Amino acid sequence: MKIKEKLKKLLRILGPGFISGASDDDPSGIATYSQTGAQFGFVQLWVALFSFPFMVVIQEMCGRIGMISAEGLSGVIKQHYSKKILYFAVTLLTIANVINIGADLGAMASTGQLLIGIPFIFWLVGIAILIVILEITVTYKIYAKFLKYMSLTLFAYIITALIIKVNWPKVLYSTLLPSFSTSKDYLLNIVAILGTTISPYLFFWQTNQEVEEGHKKNKLGLKAVGTAKDIPDIKNVDVRDMKIDTNVGMLFSNIIMFFIIVTTASTLKTHGITHIDTATQAAQALKPFAGSFASLLFAMGILGTGLLAVPVLAGSAAYAISEVFYWKEGLNKKIKRAPEFYGVIIVAVIIGVVLNFLPIKPFRMLYYTAIINGIAAPPLMVLIMLISNNKKIMGKYSNNTFSNIMGWIITGIMAIASIGLLLSLFF
């Protein structure tokens, strides 16, 4: 098979896993990675390499759960596990997502104001309206393609790193040889990176998107069913393609994280700027040291990733809440058929807009999001591990030994990280 044909085949395979990975690098994530590079230089680059296999394992489980059960994560938990845990997880997810939406919209509006001097409020409201209109009016098939192509804006961060002066031998050394510190700032930043990269909203989003993909390809029938043996259309090749999609998506996500840290470490840290509150501030700070073009690319990336991430954040909350209350849900449905689902999306975005007028600094808002995500992720990961090992749900597609070992390791690490994060609040 020729390279061109292989590339076309890969592009056809890319879907929920790739979009999930790309949306992980939202403006709030960009701010976290920028702060990492500015504060610690290249020292924490190893985290990008370390977190990749764990992200793949967890997201692959989520994708598999969606494909085989034909239910979103909320639906599966509601059917087979404690509703109290479900309500707790969905409440935390929704709060975290709404705050994250607010922070992302604010970052996008600030960036738009930086690029074109239109007042902040016009950018904020205009972007929010555009996102809601696209998510409501565009069919799932077209919207999935839109999100996929918006992911390409993340290449701006690779290009930015390649046009500035970088000490690549030092980059390679810091990536392959982890450097540890017991300082509070160092450990808290590791927790922040993990909380930003392994986020609950990605669990819900990919699970539901695999269900949407199944309906689009007529593999799940007209309605979701409950067990693996009820879905004869799911074949090994479908699961294999999902794994490829997820691997590529998570690799792409971590490569972007890597290059953002490299860029800010090579410019901001080198010139003594060690504190970044927002992604927009990082774009502004780059200009004197990396040039106008690099700064422009960095800023354009913020707008592009926001247009990708905000719909994912709002959509994952809508899926989760809709399944709790048995509402019709899905981007493949028109608003008349799923009014409550789209209502959640609209309300989430509106609240996100309003949050930008509260006297809370953007960085503090992101910090609160990290705390909530840190609390929500471990119990959800335990449930994902239990579900993906449950043969009544997953049939022959339950976890293998490798997935279990890696899954429980990262679940333990995230639990320890969340406990550390909570302790840091009190001490």
pLDDT (mean) for 214-222 = 57
**96 closest CA partner among 380, 411, 408:** 380
pLDDT at 381 over 70: yes
Residues above pLDDT 70, as percent of the chain? 92
> Which has more pLDDT, 3 or 64?
64
Q: Give the pLDDT confidence score for residue 231 in this predicted structure.
A: 47
pLDDT tens digit string along 120-132?
999 999 999 999 9
**349 closest CA partner among 302, 308, 315, 299:** 315
Q: Give the pLDDT confidence score for residue 139 in this predicted structure.
A: 76
pLDDT at 364 over 80: no
Q: Give the pLDDT confidence score for residue 367 in this predicted structure.
A: 64
Amino acid type, 137: T
pLDDT (mean) for 321-340 = 89
**399 in Cβ contact with 388 (< 8 Å):** yes
Confidence band for 229, pLDDT divided at 50, 70 and 90: very low
pLDDT at 288 over 80: no
| Domain total of the chain | 1
* Global pTM value: 0.87
Distance CA 373, CA 378 (A): 9
Distance CA 367, CA 294 (A): 27
**204 closest CA partner among 347, 404, 373:** 373
Residues 6+ apart with CB under 8 A from 197: 24, 29, 51, 55, 253, 254, 257
CA distances from 388 to 68, 287, 321 (A): 10, 47, 22
pLDDT tens digit string along 58-77?
999 999 999 898 888 999 99
Q: What sections of 116-218 are H helices per DSSP?
A: 120-137, 140-150, 155-163, 168-176, 184-197, 200-216
pLDDT (mean) for 20-30 = 85
Average pLDDT of the residues of the chain: 85
The secondary structure of 80-136 as a DSSP string is HS-HHHHHHHHHHHHHHHHHHHHHHHHHHHHHHHHHS---HHHHHHHHHHHHHHHHH
> Which has more pLDDT, 49 or 145?
49
Q: Dihedral of CA 306/309/315/317: which sign? A: negative
Report DSSP state, residue 376. H
Q: What is the CATH number of the domain that holds 50?
A: 1.20.1740.10
Confidence band for 175, pLDDT divided at 50, 70 and 90: very high
Length of the chain: 427
- State the residue range of the domain holding 141: 1-426
Distance CA 327, CA 341 (A): 7
Confidence band for 334, pLDDT divided at 50, 70 and 90: confident
250: its two tokens: 């998570």
